[in-house]
């Protein structure tokens, strides 16, 4: 084994392999930092280029990209409160508040340090675990994965802000939304509204970007503030070194979360989908002082960032050893290995062990290099926290819309989905409804339903509940709920508990519409599901019934809280800046309508130009230059490089044939 380890190390120090590894790292950093892109798109784009490459060079290119997207995705999560990828959703809970305080460098220092540590930890775990991991992986069948998914949902209590009732109702809504599309075992559509877009399921990325990104950008626009609410002098008190020292001080937490990331990453179907939430929940539950979580506690950055990078090493274990892809990224990597005539399976542990160890070394180098580069650049990135919000908003909106387009089947419905959940996210944020439980429910709903049905069929009933691993995991879930409930009750009883942070706002005037919306949605879903076959309607009914009850309780509480009558409503509306928020949403809605007529390459630059001119009151030259840069991005990157399919607008049908020969239609249509 030692010989294979050294041979694997020696093989990656060939110049060609190092160059391709560096190229993969660079592309991965860029893709992870842009909301809505991520490593999957990059791997799909690069896969065709690996066909004629040397095996190790091809692996280096793809693995370098695969390894680092969960490091650079921290940038958007901290600076904008927008998950850069699905694996960085929990980071926003404390990372963004740190940026608001002018402490983005500290957040970056801690995040990149533990990302490197987690990535190396996962790679070492990959090397150590290969000979012994088979029994562990095979021990987790459908019942055990179902129980683990429930454990992930149990973390809702740690993510519910000031109200577990609202948190549980939001989680139930996420679970209900996961049932949109084809049923698990019967070829029947559920809640698809007759739209082809919803036949498979409700795409995750437009929902995540809508519910997190649009409310944060709306706040920058309507309140005319920068990301950092503190003065520039505060920046001098925060440094990359502070974050690194925080990471060292909380090294035991980082180690525990890296272990969680590694071994959850092994399990097919879970991995990055829940590991950051599980790690964040563990950090909250294991902390003596929980009062600062959600307010900018550095432990809330360290835990998910250590875990999501370690997941990559864990995900490679079943992929390399048993040809079982734990995620879409590892499935693409398996395809590349097969194209290079490298067969994942027992040979990777025997005759091809040196290739396996070369992958381990690539993971180590990629994580360390990416963390080092991002630390060098993060001071400059952190300065964006003090840039006027009006300058950032239009550019980020473009990335949000294009990310939704990429993650939403390249359909205009993806923009509508993003917009609708942007409205819901704004109301939830203003009304004190925590948004993470809804997203966690949406992510886990399909896994919960699928594994539950498989378990029931495999064991012909509920006998699987007596499995030892299932019992242990369910016990952990119950303990988590009890501890979360106790923590929430104690926190609400304290008069000095901060009211800022995710789910801690107290604005019944804005919470009431969310409670009413959720109650109506649950009731309508239950009424519809009652007429379906048992296999089709069982899971939606199980989610809708308690969800309706929880929403009703929230509705009653909101009604009682509006004791001031009209004055309370007016004060709540003023606090939420409702008028300007509605105007901003109308601006976004208008952009979607213009896209239907003129197309994306015209509508988005128009939005940028008009926003800067009217909202930002900037000079015409700045507005025109910014809009031109956005047009160049759409044409140069999204069209010419990614080869994205753009919306077939009415203008395309009317004017494409009338364009002069010297003007390619892809420039404007």
Residues 405 and 591: their CA atoms lie apart, in Å, by 14
The per-residue pLDDT for 75 is 92
Q: Is the pLDDT of residue 206 over 50?
A: yes
Residues 494 and 492: their CA atoms lie apart, in Å, by 5
Neighbours of 556 (CB within 10 A): 11
83's CB contacts (< 8 A; 6+ apart) are: 35, 73, 76, 77, 89, 91, 92, 208, 209, 212
501, 608: one domain? no
For residue 568, being part of any structural domain is answered with: no
Q: With beta carbons less than 8 A apart as the criterion, state whether 17 and 11 touch.
A: yes
Straight-line distance from the first to the last Cα atom of the chain, in angstroms, rounded to the nearest whole number:
57
Report the pLDDT value the prediction gives residue 233, as an integer from 0 to 100.
45
**pLDDT at residue number 302:** 95
pLDDT, residue 133, reads 64
- Supply the DSSP string of 294-334, one letter for each residue: TTT-THHHHHHHHHHHHHHHHHHHHHHHHS--SSHHHHHHH
On whether both 248 and 158 belong to a single domain, the answer is yes
Domain end position, chosen among 472, 506, 540: 506
Q: Is 556 contained in some domain? A: no
Question: What does 588-654 look like in DSSP terms, one character per residue?
Answer: HHHHHHHHHHH-HHHHHHHHHHHHHHHTS---HHHHHHHHHHHHHHIIIIIIIIT-PPPP--HHHHH
**Model confidence band, residue 527 (pLDDT cutoffs 50, 70, 90):** very high
Winning range, highest mean pLDDT, from 140-154, 207-221, 329-343, 476-490: 207-221
pLDDT of 464 above 60 = yes
**Measured on CA atoms in the order 11, 17, 21, 22, is the torsion positive or negative?**
positive
401-441 pLDDT, tens digit each? 998 998 888 899 999 999 999 999 999 999 999 888 898 88
Residue among 262, 246, 225 nearest 94 (CA)? 246
Check pLDDT > 70 for residue 130: no
Contacts of 645 (CB under 8 A, 6+ apart): 410
How many CA atoms lie less than 13 Å away from 338 in the CB half-sphere? 11
Asked if residues 158 and 426 have their Cβ atoms less than 8 Å apart, the reply is: no
**DSSP assigned state of 665:** G
Q: Using alpha carbons only, what angle is made at residue 325 by residues 322 and 326, rounded to the nearest 5 degrees?
A: 115
| pLDDT grade for 590, boundaries at 50, 70 and 90 | very high
User: How many other C-beta atoms are found inside a 10 Å radius of the C-beta of residue 291?
Assistant: 15
Shared domain for 304 and 451, answered yes or no, is: yes
Q: Which of 89-93, 229-233, 317-321, 381-385 has the lowest mean pLDDT?
A: 229-233
pLDDT at 499: 53
In a domain? residue 549:
no
**What does the pLDDT read at residue 491?**
65
Among the ranges given (88-97, 161-170, 370-379), the one the predictor scored with the smallest mean pLDDT: 161-170
pTM value? 0.87
Residues 173 and 278 in one domain: yes
Same domain (yes/no): 85, 174:
yes
Q: Inter-axis angle of helices 251-265 and 275-286, to 10 degrees?
A: 150
Q: Domain limits at 127?
A: 2-506
What residues pair up with 182 in beta bridges, in sequence order?
189
Residue 322 predicted with pLDDT over 80: no
Is 335 a member of any domain? yes
Q: Is residue 572 part of a domain?
A: no
Q: Which residues pair with 190 in a beta bridge?
A: 181
Q: Which of 456, 474, 506 is the last residue of a domain?
A: 506
pLDDT value at residue 217: 92
pLDDT recorded at residue 138: 65
Instruction: Return the pLDDT at 430.
Output: 92
Alpha-carbon distance values, 636 to 84, 269, 598, 633 (Å): 22, 35, 19, 5
Rounded Cα gap, residues 39 and 62, in angstroms: 9
**Same domain, yes or no: 502 and 365:** yes
The predicted-structure confidence for 636-661, as pLDDT tens digits, reads as follows 999 988 888 899 888 877 777 777 77
What residues does 181 pair with on adjacent strands?
A: 190
Nearest residue to 419 via CA among 669, 562, 206:
206
Q: Which of 442-451, 492-501, 627-636, 638-647 has the lowest mean pLDDT?
A: 492-501
CA atoms within 13 A on the CB side of 80: 32
In this predicted structure, the answer to whether residue 398 has a pLDDT above a threshold of 90 is: yes
pLDDT surpassing 50 at residue 234:
no
Work out the average pLDDT over 503-527. 92
Residues 237 and 368 in one domain: yes
On whether residue 585 sits in a domain, the answer given is yes
- Mean pLDDT over 257-272 rounds to 77
Phi/psi of residue 189, nearest 5 degrees: -80, 145
Looking at the structure of the chain, the number of domains it has is: 2
497 and 617 housed in the same domain: no
Tokens, residue 286: 């294991």
User: CB neighbours of 460 closer than 8 A, spacing ≥ 6?
Assistant: none
pLDDT tens digits for 531-570?
898 888 989 998 999 999 999 999 999 998 887 677 778 8
Q: Which residues contact 23 (CB under 8 A, 6 or more apart)?
A: 61, 64
DSSP notation for 249-283: HTHHHHHHHHHHHHHHHTSTTTGGGTHHHHHHHHH
Q: At what angle do helices 164-177 and 468-493 cross, to 10 degrees?
A: 140
Contact 451/149 with Cβ under 8 angstroms? yes
- CA 237, distance to chain mean position in Å, is 30
58-95: pLDDT as tens digits? 989 999 998 888 889 899 999 988 887 767 788 998 99
Cβ–Cβ < 8 Å for 43, 334: no
Q: What is the mean pLDDT of the chain?
A: 85
Distance CA 126, CA 118 (A): 12
Domain match, 596 and 477 both:
no
Instruction: Note whether residue 238 is domain-resident.
Output: yes
Q: Which of 226-230, 279-283, 415-419, 458-462 has the highest mean pLDDT?
A: 415-419
- Please say which residue of 474, 506, 538 terminates a domain: 506
388: helix, strand or coil = coil
Find the largest Cα–Cα distance for the chain. 77
- Give CA–CA dist 198/203, Å, rounded: 8
Residues 6 or more apart whose CB falls under 8 angstroms from that of 137 comprise: 266, 267, 317, 318, 322, 324
613 pLDDT more than 90: yes
**Residue percentage of the chain with pLDDT more than 70:** 91
Residue 536, in any domain of the structure: no
pLDDT of residue 198: 92
What is the predicted pLDDT for the residue at 326? 62
Do 359 and 252 lie in one domain? The reply is: yes
pLDDT recorded at residue 238: 67
Q: What element of type H or E holds 533?
A: none
More confident position, 111 or 498: 111
Whether pLDDT at 498 is above 60: no
Question: What's residue 141's pLDDT?
Answer: 79
DSSP count for the chain of H helices, then E strands: 29, 2
Question: Is the torsion defined by CA of 405, 407, 412, 418 positive or negative?
Answer: negative
Q: What is the pLDDT at residue 530?
A: 92
Residue-wise pLDDT for 267-304, tens only, equals: 766 666 678 888 988 898 888 888 788 888 999 999 99
pLDDT of amino acid 169 = 92
pLDDT for the residue numbered 226: 87
DSSP sequence for 441-470 = HHHHHHHHHHHHHHHHHHHTSSGGGG-HHH
Please tell me the distance from the alpha carbon of residue 599 to that of residue 607, in angstroms, as a whole number.
Answer: 12
């Amino acid at each position: 084994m030692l010989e294979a380890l050294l041979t694997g190390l020696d093989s990656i120090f060939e110049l060609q392999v190092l160059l391709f590894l560096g190229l993969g790292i660079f592309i991965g950093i860029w893709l992870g930092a842009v909301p809505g892109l991520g490593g999957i798109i990059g791997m799909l784009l690069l896969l065709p280029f690996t066909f004629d490459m040397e095996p190790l060079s091809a692996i280096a290119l793809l693995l370098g990209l695969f390894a680092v997207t969960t490091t650079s995705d921290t940038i958007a999560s901290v600076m904008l409160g927008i998950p850069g990828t699905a694996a960085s959703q929990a980071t926003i809970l404390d990372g963004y508040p740190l940026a608001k305080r002018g402490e983005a460098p500290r957040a970056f220092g801690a995040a990149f340090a533990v990302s490197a540590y987690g990535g190396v930890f996962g790679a070492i775990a990959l090397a150590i675990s290969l000979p012994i991991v088979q029994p562990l992986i095979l021990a987790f069948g459908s019942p055990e994965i179902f129980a683990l998914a429930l454990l992930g949902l149990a973390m809702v209590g740690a993510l519910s802000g000031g109200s577990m009732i609202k948190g549980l109702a939001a989680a139930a809504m996420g679970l209900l939304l996961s049932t949109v599309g084809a049923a698990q075992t019967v070829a029947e559509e559920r809640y698809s509204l007759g739209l082809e877009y919803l036949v498979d399921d409700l795409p995750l990325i437009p929902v995540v970007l809508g519910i997190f990104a649009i409310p944060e950008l709306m706040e920058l626009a309507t309140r005319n503030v920068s990301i950092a609410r503190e003065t520039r002098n505060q920046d001098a008190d925060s440094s990359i070194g502070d974050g690194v020292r925080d990471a060292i001080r909380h090294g035991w937490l980082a180690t525990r979360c890296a272990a969680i990331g590694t071994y959850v990453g092994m399990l097919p179907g879970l991995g990055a989908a829940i590991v950051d939430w599980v790690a964040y929940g563990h950090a909250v539950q294991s902390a003596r002082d929980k009062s600062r979580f959600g307010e900018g506690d550095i432990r809330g950055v360290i835990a998910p960032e250590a875990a999501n990078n370690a997941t990559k090493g864990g995900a490679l274990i079943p992929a390399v050893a048993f040809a079982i892809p734990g995620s879409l990224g590892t499935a693409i990597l398996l395809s590349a290995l097969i194209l290079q005539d490298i067969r994942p399976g027992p040979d990777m542990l025997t005759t091809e062990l040196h290739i396996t160890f070369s992958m381990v070394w690539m993971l180590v180098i990629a994580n360390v290099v990416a963390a080092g580069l991002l630390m060098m650049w993060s001071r400059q990135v952190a300065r964006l926290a003090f840039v006027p919000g009006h300058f950032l908003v239009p550019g980020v909106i473009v990335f949000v819309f294009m990310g939704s387009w990429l993650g939403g089947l390249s359909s205009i419905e993806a923009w509508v989905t993003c917009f609708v959940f942007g409205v819901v996210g704004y109301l939830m944020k203003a009304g004190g409804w925590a948004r993470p439980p809804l997203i966690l429910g949406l992510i886990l709903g399909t896994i919960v339903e699928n594994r539950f049905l498989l378990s029931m069929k495999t064991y012909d009933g509920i006998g699987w509940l007596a499995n030892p691993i299932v019992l242990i995991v369910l016990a952990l879930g119950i303990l988590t709920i009890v501890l979360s409930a106790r923590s929430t009750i104690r926190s609400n009883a304290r008069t000095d508990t901060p009211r800022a942070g995710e789910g801690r706002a107290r604005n019944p005037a804005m919470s009431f519409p969310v409670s009413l919306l959720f109650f109506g949605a649950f009731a309508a879903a239950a009424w519809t599901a009652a007429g379906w076959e048992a296999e089709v309607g069982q899971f939606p009914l199980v989610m809708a019934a308690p969800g309706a009850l929880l929403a009703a309780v929230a509705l009653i509480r909101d009604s009682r809280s509006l004791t001031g009558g009209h004055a309370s409503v007016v004060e709540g509306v003023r606090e939420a800046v409702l008028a300007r928020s509605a105007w901003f949403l109308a601006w976004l809605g208008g952009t979607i309508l213009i896209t239907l007529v003129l197309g994306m390459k015209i509508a988005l630059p128009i939005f940028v130009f008009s926003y800067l001119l009217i909202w930002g009151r900037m000079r015409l030259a700045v507005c025109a230059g910014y809009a031109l840069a956005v047009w160049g991005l759409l044409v140069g990157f999204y069209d010419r490089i990614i080869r994205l399919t753009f919306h077939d607008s009415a203008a395309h049908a009317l004017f494409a044939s009338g364009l002069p020969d010297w003007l390619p239609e892809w420039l404007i249509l």
